[in-house]
Amino acid sequence: MPTLTFKPSGTAITVAEGDNILAAMLAHGEKVAHKCDGKATCGECHIFLLEGRKGVSRLSPDENAKLDTMVGVGSKSRLACQCAVLGTEDITIEVLSFV
């Protein structure tokens, strides 16, 4: 099973194929803002996917549309609520929102 590492905290957890990154973060006590219940409408769970891009699901049209409206988005930007673990490689993310 792949490892999901959070920056800047350095916390690393084991995740399973199909796990949602936001749900995994919350289940392991990582603090991240979120308001839309995983519908890609608030943008609060914006993360940078630093490593393991092939280890998560592709960008959905809803996620892409939301990211297009946000400031500070880069090529590594994703919404944690829209990322499912594929189980193919380890993943490292930078948490950008803090509660």
pLDDT at 96: 83
pLDDT level of residue 10 (50, 70, 90 thresholds): very high
Strand order in the sheet with 91-95: 12-14, 3-7, 91-95, 46-51, 77-79
Q: Is the pLDDT of residue 23 over 90?
A: yes
Residue-wise pLDDT for 36-71, tens only, equals: 989 999 999 999 999 999 999 999 999 999 999 999
Query: What does the pLDDT look like over 67-89, one tens digit per residue?
Result: 999 999 999 999 999 999 999 99
Answer whether residue 18 shows pLDDT above 80: yes
> What whole-number distance in Å separates Cα of residue 25 and Cα of residue 45?
10
51 DSSP β-pair partners: 92
- pLDDT confidence of residue 98: 59
Altogether, the residues listed in the chain come to a count of 99
Instruction: Name the one residue in this structure whose structure tokens are 């400031």.
Output: 71
Instruction: Locate 75 and state its tokens.
Output: 């090529």
Where do the domains of the chain lie, and which CATH numbers do they carry? 3-95 (3.10.20.30)
**Rounded to an integer, what is the distance from CA 17 to the centroid of its chain?**
14
CB 51 within 8 A of CB 84: no
Residue 99 reports pLDDT greater than 60: no
